[in-house]
Amino acid sequence: MLFKGALIKLLLQMRGELRRLCHSPFVIGLLSLLWFILRTGTKPSRINYPCQRAALANIHLWLTIYIMPLIYPLIHLVQKSLRSRRFLPILVIAIIIGGALTFWGVYEMMRMKEMREISLKIEERLAMFEPCSSIFVVTGTRGNDDGIFRLIDLMGDHGLLFYKSHEYGRNKGPSGLIGRDDVVIIKVNSQWDERGGTNTDLVKALIEAILNHPDGFVGEIVVADNGQAQYGSGGFGGSFSWLRNNAENISQSIQSVVDFFANKGYKVSTYLWDQITTKRVSEYFEGDMEDGYIVNTTRNPRTGIMVSYPKFRTAFGTYISFKYGVWDPETRTYHSERLKVINFPVLKTHSIYGVTACVKHYMGVVSDKLTARLGARAHDTVDDGGMGTEMVETRFPTLNIIDAIWVNAIPRGGPSTSYDEATRVNIIAASIDPVALDYWAAKYILLEVARQKGYRDLSTIDPDNAESGSFGRWLRLSMEEIRRAGYQATVDENYISVYVLNMETGK
């Protein structure tokens, strides 16, 4: 009993000492330094994490209290030693070593920068046959410049007018895409943070371009997506308020971009369809005014998809059916021609389907959860061309723009894309034809980046690989669905024209 009592007393004393040790500023600072080094590792972007910022604060206190007092005596010792001739050889050796280490550090930084930024030579070409699909490419843009405006100019120079107007003029005319009173949905990637989401600098520029309609824009803009309320960087689906974003200023989220315009009085808002992705509703003409998802429970006989789409009321009171258009509750009619969709994905690889770009991007239109509950999960139909069916049976995009400022070319590495996994290529491209744009972007951007970086087994991103289960195969199946509905779509380069503008040379 005496031994047991002594042991308990000893353990209690040890616990007290350990508690005091754990609360010691010296120990906290030292452990914070070790944590910071190990946690940051080879990924400097992690310095922005909240836990790393807290560690830095502890390290600063530790250096101030315990390390800096040791520096001054050391400086005094060095000054004293400098008076001695015996110290000169040591000083020379230290300078040589320090210089070598500095040179090595600079070299490594330059090498890493070169590995993360690749300049691709994009060539123009004209289609040999009609009808053809036109692709418009701007290179040398960093997103936060006038790249989007130059893209609109390039389109206009070759007959695709961005602005719909009764008058003819620069980038405008009766055949233009966006009218002054249209409701425009900008469909973005929002399920992943860092480089996994659409570049917010580009989104900001596109909103500004729409608002700058030469006839005066009086319509509405909605930035939207469905992260499916599952998976994603946070495990809960999509977000418009990620802390780490795809932009020059990584704190610039989609929501902050939209708020910038909304605070100036413009009708610009967001709608995260994750909020309604599990709520099944009926159409407005059936008397249902609730936000939610419409699901056609009849599976498509070719692709197996149950087509689904959102129906919602915007922050400004506008009722939208993604399929039928803008609903007028007074006249009980839809204005289909007023609803425009700009499909705006970021280019990256996909762990299951090889490549995610314009066509795969329509997974952010469907409700994966509702269709899964009904026995026909939408995500499983991508392989059979399901997104092609989704496009033509809901609302075909007015314009497709691919964000390739930063891309993930690691075979099966996406869709999540960290800052360190991304490669900068500074390209944006647009087309009316989502299939042609996906084919071209995969072949001349993703595949080329992957080759230059030395990645192996590139078959998953090769659009000319049409084996069963490949990206090239399901892209072609999607193309067949789109063609069947009467839209232009091709993977034949003889039917594709590519127009290029290099912002660095102006040509």
pLDDT of residue 229: 96
Report yes or no: 441 and 407 within 8 Å, Cβ to Cβ.
no
pLDDT tens digits for 449-498? 999 999 999 999 999 999 999 999 999 999 999 999 999 999 999 999 99
- For 82-98, b/e burial (b = at least 16 CB within 10 A) is eeeeeeeeeeeeeeeee
pLDDT tens digits for 413-463? 999 999 999 999 999 999 999 999 999 999 999 999 999 999 999 999 999
CA distance 145 to 374: 46
Query: Is residue 87 pLDDT above 80, yes or no?
Result: no
pTM of the complete model: 0.80
| In the chain, domain spans | 2-83, 133-502
CA distance 210 to 399: 13
Check whether the bond before 415 is cis (ω within 30° of 0).
yes
pLDDT tens digits for 210-233? 999 999 999 999 999 999 999 999
How is the beta sheet containing 308-313 ordered, strand by strand?
292-295, 308-313, 319-321, 325-328, 333-335
Query: Is residue 373 pLDDT above 50, yes or no?
Result: yes
pLDDT grade for 75, boundaries at 50, 70 and 90: low
Classify residue 190 by burial, with Cβ atoms within 10 Å: 0-12, 13-18, 19+.
Answer: buried
Query: Is residue 107 pLDDT above 50, yes or no?
Result: no
CA distance 477 to 485: 13
Question: What's the helix, strand, coil split of the chain in %, to 5?
Answer: 45, 20, 40
**Least confident segment among 22-31, 270-279, 351-360:** 22-31
Query: Is residue 12 pLDDT above 90, yes or no?
Result: no
CA distance 10 to 234: 45
Q: Is 358 helix (H, G, I), strand (E, B) or coil?
A: coil
Query: Is residue 104 pLDDT above 50, yes or no?
Result: no
